[in-house]
Structure 1
Amino acid sequence: MLSVLCALHFLFNRTRRNEGILKERPGHAPGPQEEEADVLIARRSLPELSQYAVQVLDLSSQYGGDDSISYTMHNLAGPPNIYPLAGDFTHAALLRTYGTWWDHLARWTPERCPKNPDWFQSRDFVELLFDEPVFPTGVSVLETDHPGYVVRILARSWDEGEQSGVHMDRWRTLWSGPVETDLPPNDPRKLCPSIHPPGFATNLLRLEFNCSMSVYYMELDAVILHGVPVDIRQPKRRKSREELDDSERLQKKQNGFERSRRNEEEGKLYNFTKNGYFDLLPYELIEIILSFLTLPELCRLAQCSRTLRDYCYDPFMYKHLDLKPFWPSLCEEDLLALKPRLTHTRSLGLSWTGNKGSFSPTVLDNFLGGWSEHLLQLELANCHWITNESLETVTMLCPNLQDLDLSSCDQIPPGEFKRLSSLQRLRRLVLYRTRINTESLLSIISKCTQLRHLNLGGCLEVKEPDVVLVVLASNCQQLRSLDMWRSSELTEIGLAHLASRCKNIEDLDLGWCGQVQAGVGVVVVMARGLPRLRRLVLTANRSVSDTDLESLANCCPLLEQLDILERNMVGKDTDALSLPATGCARFISWSVHLDRIGITNKKKKKVSLSPSLSLSPSLSLPPPPPSLFPFLNFSLNLIKRLICS
């Protein structure tokens, strides 16, 4: 009790002494905390500002093409054009995928070790720039179709120093929540979650989505940022030289105390080698226990003791490492700190990391050197710091790669993709929204003959897709999935060659390939040549007919998903719509334009058909039109001459 009274007496006298000193100094300047409080009061007195996004800075995927304005994520910029209406509109913002199909077939997904944190559920993102930096008080997201799949909203810090190059990149989560699958799919919604104040001003938001549980495309209209404007007239108080020197001396003194305390504790634990019953546990059991931990949890556990540090630093604990969930805070020093633990790593995920200057183009040279020879999978989606030098580093240091994802790596020149031809063990290659050209692509598929999955969606520089498919059919006959989304120059000639050679294709995406004419019988040829088809996308192909559906129903018994949106060649009274469900035992659902069969509004619909219907009588298939084969022979001979020359 006496010690408590003494402490209270000391604090009372110290408070009085400080008050006396302040009263004796008429020119007393407010301290940093006092000034910060005044600034906050001034900011709160300002009126709240609500503003729409002015620009889309970055995105992971979009339904529309980069050369179009329909269904692109760039439609999020500006005021709303649709809300409070609901439905399908071309000037809405749509992501590229929905459901689990894109990860179900065409991706190698080993069990992560360390495991990914449960709070990270994001699959796609979009970054939005606003005109005025504000201290955020709220965010509103206008959803017009299939709402409920926004899972996280983040803000990036802003200050006046960012224009002079001294801005420190900081991200803070304003809100996060689970997917809401119980919302009405055709009702609009204004998402206005309660946010956590980040403690800084911002003019850049990032929305993250998880549409893996959606039954159809989610559509967005606009995003509104609410906040108190930054009072740019309020000068920032800078610390004097004396204050900086005092704080530096105090920091050195505290570091010395911490160092001496740590040495003292280590000296006490040096001779203590017994770990109790922990030493009796077999290594395999400890490995199973640690496999339930995330990467940050492993790093924290390693600080508890030397024994646990040895277990947590074991390279076998990092066989399949995914750093994508930690993109907001990951820096080059973190990569170099992890490098000694990655000698047995087979799968590495760096997607979404290193942007906004966090990584330099040469970081891969220092990070991958010495251990990446046995790396099998590398994910670099949306890594805008990847350049031709980075690509050269990957091909030299990772010669055994089987799975490479370069989605949206837009800083690689078209001709530099030829370097990938040296990775002759590639089985999966994702080039979605890259700048690869026809020449580089031909070089790759001519040498990488083990390709199983190839994604060329949105590759606008591939001007001769028919030539690509002919060479692909000749060299990669074990192909299982091919994505040619929005390949505007693709025709039935290349598809016929593909169907004649690549018999193992299960997933074929031909959405928005406007030059493909189904009327000449190419769908019938594909149905006969690709009996293992499980998913076929023919979006915006208006020439698909009842005969084509009959061919698919009779020749593709494994078909599960069929997308023939915007098709018009179907009659009102036809029974062809039930054929995929009756002829394919595993059929789940399809997407179809219903305007010609009694639905008056031109809205995309998702029709689920029961796979338990009885099998319909067999239908006779018409032979492929003879006019198609001269074109095939002529194009094949022409391509052979081009290759030989």
Structure 2
Amino acid sequence: MQANLIKKCDGIPECDNKFLPVEVMATDMQRLDQWAERVVNYTSKYNTELSVSYSPENVVGKYEKYPSYGDFPETYFLRTYGSWWKESEAYQQVYRPQEVDPLGAEDYITLGFETAVVPRDVCIYETYNPGAVVRIWGRYALQEWKLLWDGPPQTCPESARKFHPPIRPLNCLINEVRLEFNQSHLKYHTSIDAIVLGGFCPKKVIQYNVLKNDLLKWKISGVDEREQTADDDSTSPDYFSCLPIEVMVHIFQNLDLTSLSRCAQVNKTWNAASMDPTLYQNLSLKRYWHAVDANMLSNFKKRCRSLKKLDLSWCGTHTTNEKAFFNAVLGFIEECCKQLTHLSLCHCEIVNNAILCKIPCCKELTELRLRNVKVDSHAFHCLSKLTKLITLDLSTTKISDEPLNAILKANPLLKHINLDFCEHVELLDQVVETATIFNKNLITWSSFKATTLTHTGGMLFARFTKLRELDLGWCFLLTHPGDSMMIIADGCRDLKRCEQSNLFMLSYQNIFSRLILSQWRGANDQMLLFVISCCKKLTQLDLLGINGITGDFCEEALRTLPDLKLLEISFCDRIQDEQVLKWRQEFPHVTIQRSCKTVVSNYFN
């Protein structure tokens, strides 16, 4: 593909005195700009397996909607935005606060390209709420990931954008690009239409092999950084080492893993303090996904003798020796996780049936997160050996009815369950019924786009008297919800007993705070008016795509729900834009979501 799809801009970094571009030395290299050929992996989606609307695969190939701006099903949508999801009681808290990502990356997508090139440009076509990209990585095949660009999330005008950041100059081949997103500052969903990778392609075999193995590190300057001497005085006394070891350990508790590793190299005293097991009771390696390998896990084995929380999310996507890393994960779980209470393996591609079957050795687990792990349905049976779970996230997995029911029966303490996109659950009604019998303490339930729920199963949620958050978005695409929501609202009441004047009085109070009913096409004003009359504590109410509601209901909800913060009414066709503008002025404390109407631009500009 010879067409020059990217125009040069002033932001491209000039070569400094230490970098010599390969195309300057080898002038016969071919310039090539290409669209993404395939999706390698991703962490967020809005579509189901049978739908291409908003799918990650929509990023493949040339853009379809750019330079138009708006909500286009032909583009790739990320599911979350803003801080609304973080306010859920089921949201995963950071296991190790020192390891919070400074750029706040929440999701990623990895794309493959047909031809490997020496990267000079990455161009991202954003068609809705741009500004979420915070990092761009690149690599060749299964080699080491290289950071091409990073920067904080941006607040951008409401228009389509061709994001063309100045990438780091490298003399190596790239045929995969990974974008990381932080969409927590956005008012609504963000979408991407296409991505272009531009660079130079070697024509000769010897050029290709040299670049493939990253052997070129040409520099113009003769200064070698290793020859530069530090300004510190190596003979100066180390007063810090004179502190009691307990004080040193207490100070080290504030450091992240990178800083602890550096401290371990100062001297023997610092090394001993940095190896104290109390510093590694909580271990979060998600931030270091690009560096985690078998050797790193082996080193942590010596320190993690009292491990309580472990987060390996995103890890395993880069390793050049998959077998070694797999064995290291197995050994780490077996040797270091006997006292583990929290385990997160979300989007960890190394997780397979064998690793999943090793998890039950962590008998003290109260929180288990397996979002988007690629294991077979029958492998989940082993998790029924766990009996103390309080939080369980199985979103976007292949779990089926039988193992799911077995897990629910074995864990009576369960309070939070996430079954979003669990499309292999064929009889969700039976799963709900099992939970009503064995998991009476449920506080949050989420089964977004699990479409096998019927009116009968929906009514069963009324038995969860402690339920505060319910996400049944897109669950009734195949059936009609009937009056199930009215029954749920009337039944989910927390029974409270209070003593007054030596008399016991019973009072019922509905405690719903978050209710997501997206695409409940059978819902109407009458049904939902009853719901808001019962659920006075609602803070988030999602009614996206419900055409049966009118402006009268919305106005009643805004006036009678004192704690309401979010009202989602996108694609509710009977509600006029003029009404929404009026409500936003009258109720400024409520975020009223209304998906943007498409703004079609002139493609010939």
Q: Could you tell me which amino acid in structure 2 is paired with residue 354 of structure 1?
A: G
Counterpart for residue 584 of structure 1? 561
- Deviation, structure 1 residue 540: 1.5
Deviations 1:165-210 (A, max 9, x none): xxx62101111111113x22x3111110000023311110000111
- Deviation, structure 1 residue 386: 1.3
1:521 paired residue among 471, 477, 483: 483
Match of 1:85, SS state, is: coil
Q: Counterparts of 1:329-344 in structure 2 under 5 Å?
A: 329-344=291-306
Name structure 1 gaps, 5 residues minimum: 1-35, 159-167, 239-267, 614-645
Alpha-carbon distance in 2 for matches of 1:301, 1:123: 29
Alpha-carbon distance in 1 for matches of 2:53, 2:585: 26
Structure 1 residues 296 and 145: alpha-carbon distance in aligned structure 2, compared to 1, 3 A threshold:
same
Alpha-carbon distance in 2 for matches of 1:201, 1:132: 9
Using CA pairs below 8 Å that are at least 6 residues apart, which structure has the higher relative contact order?
2
Match of 1:548, SS state, is: helix
Counterpart for residue 538 of structure 1? 517
Q: Does 1:317 align with 2:291?
A: no
Counterpart for residue 138 of structure 2? 155
Q: Does 1:350 align with 2:312?
A: yes
Counterpart for residue 304 of structure 1? 266
Alpha-carbon distance in 1 for matches of 2:437, 2:586: 37
1:190 paired residue among 162, 166, 171: 162
Alpha-carbon distance in 1 for matches of 2:209, 2:276: 48
Check whether the contact 1:432–1:459 (CA below 8 A) recurs between aligned residues.
Answer: yes
Q: Could you tell me which amino acid in structure 2 is paired with residue 508 of structure 1?
A: L
Q: Counterparts of 1:307-456 in structure 2 under 5 Å?
A: 307-357=269-319, 358-360=321-323, 361-396=326-361, 398-410=362-374, 412-456=375-419
Check whether the contact 1:114–1:320 (CA below 8 A) recurs between aligned residues.
Answer: no
- Deviation, structure 1 residue 41: 3.9
Q: How many residues in Structure 1 have an aligned counterpart in Structure 2?
A: 527
Deviations 1:242-291 (A, max 9, x none): xxxxxxxxxxxxxxxxxxxxxxxxxx99xx9x95465346835x445323
**TM-score, reference length from structure 2:** 0.81
Structure 1 residues 48 and 236: alpha-carbon distance in aligned structure 2, compared to 1, 3 A threshold:
closer
Q: Counterparts of 1:609-624 in structure 2 under 5 Å?
A: 610=587
Alpha-carbon distance in 1 for matches of 2:393, 2:203: 46
Match of 1:370, SS state, is: helix
Structure 1 residues 71 and 594: alpha-carbon distance in aligned structure 2, compared to 1, 3 A threshold:
same
Deviates more, 1:464-473 or 1:360-369: 360-369
Counterpart for residue 115 of structure 2? 132
Alpha-carbon distance in 2 for matches of 1:38, 1:216: 40
2:35 paired residue among 52, 55, 78: 52
> What CA RMSD, in Å, does the superposition of the two structures yield over aligned residues?
2.9
Q: Does 1:207 align with 2:179?
A: yes
Q: Counterparts of 1:217-236 in structure 2 under 5 Å?
A: 217-234=189-206
Check whether the contact 1:44–1:228 (CA below 8 A) recurs between aligned residues.
Answer: no
Check whether the contact 1:588–1:611 (CA below 8 A) recurs between aligned residues.
Answer: no
Check whether the contact 2:565–2:589 (CA below 8 A) recurs between aligned residues.
Answer: no
Deviations 1:569-618 (A, max 9, x none): 134xx421122222222101211124223349xx9xx97972779xxxxx
Q: Could you tell me which amino acid in structure 2 is paired with residue 116 of structure 1?
A: E
Q: Does 1:480 align with 2:457?
A: no
Alpha-carbon distance in 2 for matches of 1:275, 1:176: 36
Alpha-carbon distance in 1 for matches of 2:78, 2:209: 45
- Deviation, structure 1 residue 537: 1.3
Q: Could you tell me which amino acid in structure 2 is paired with residue 520 of structure 1?
A: G
Alpha-carbon distance in 2 for matches of 1:448, 1:607: 44
Deviations 1:438-484 (A, max 9, x none): 11111111111111111111111101001111111111111111111
Check whether the contact 1:381–1:408 (CA below 8 A) recurs between aligned residues.
Answer: yes
- Deviation, structure 1 residue 510: 1.2
Alpha-carbon distance in 1 for matches of 2:20, 2:134: 33
Deviations 1:127-155 (A, max 9, x none): 00111111111111111111111110000
Structure 1 residues 209 and 609: alpha-carbon distance in aligned structure 2, compared to 1, 3 A threshold:
farther
Structure 1 residues 281 and 374: alpha-carbon distance in aligned structure 2, compared to 1, 3 A threshold:
same
- Deviation, structure 1 residue 348: 0.6
- Deviation, structure 1 residue 345: 1.8
Alpha-carbon distance in 2 for matches of 1:226, 1:567: 43
Q: Could you tell me which amino acid in structure 2 is paired with residue 204 of structure 1?
A: E
Match of 2:563, SS state, is: coil
Match of 1:217, SS state, is: coil
Alpha-carbon distance in 1 for matches of 2:66, 2:303: 51
Check whether the contact 1:179–1:210 (CA below 8 A) recurs between aligned residues.
Answer: yes
Counterpart for residue 623 of structure 1? none
Structure 1 residues 608 and 206: alpha-carbon distance in aligned structure 2, compared to 1, 3 A threshold:
farther
1:62 paired residue among 32, 40, 45: 45
Identity %: 29
Counterpart for residue 596 of structure 2? none
Counterpart for residue 628 of structure 1? none
Alpha-carbon distance in 2 for matches of 1:486, 1:447: 25
Deviations 1:206-233 (A, max 9, x none): 0011112222111111111111113244
Alpha-carbon distance in 1 for matches of 2:35, 2:328: 36
Match of 2:457, SS state, is: helix
**TM-score, reference length from structure 1:** 0.76
Check whether the contact 1:150–1:207 (CA below 8 A) recurs between aligned residues.
Answer: yes
1:289 paired residue among 251, 258, 271: 251
Match of 1:557, SS state, is: coil
Structure whose residues are more often helix by fraction? 1
Q: Does 1:598 align with 2:576?
A: yes
Check whether the contact 1:113–1:291 (CA below 8 A) recurs between aligned residues.
Answer: no
Larger radius of gyration: 1
Q: Could you tell me which amino acid in structure 2 is paired with residue 98 of structure 1?
A: Y
Deviations 1:393-446 (A, max 9, x none): 1112x1111111111111x11111011111110111111111111111111111
Q: Could you tell me which amino acid in structure 2 is paired with residue 314 of structure 1?
A: D
Check whether the contact 2:263–2:270 (CA below 8 A) recurs between aligned residues.
Answer: yes
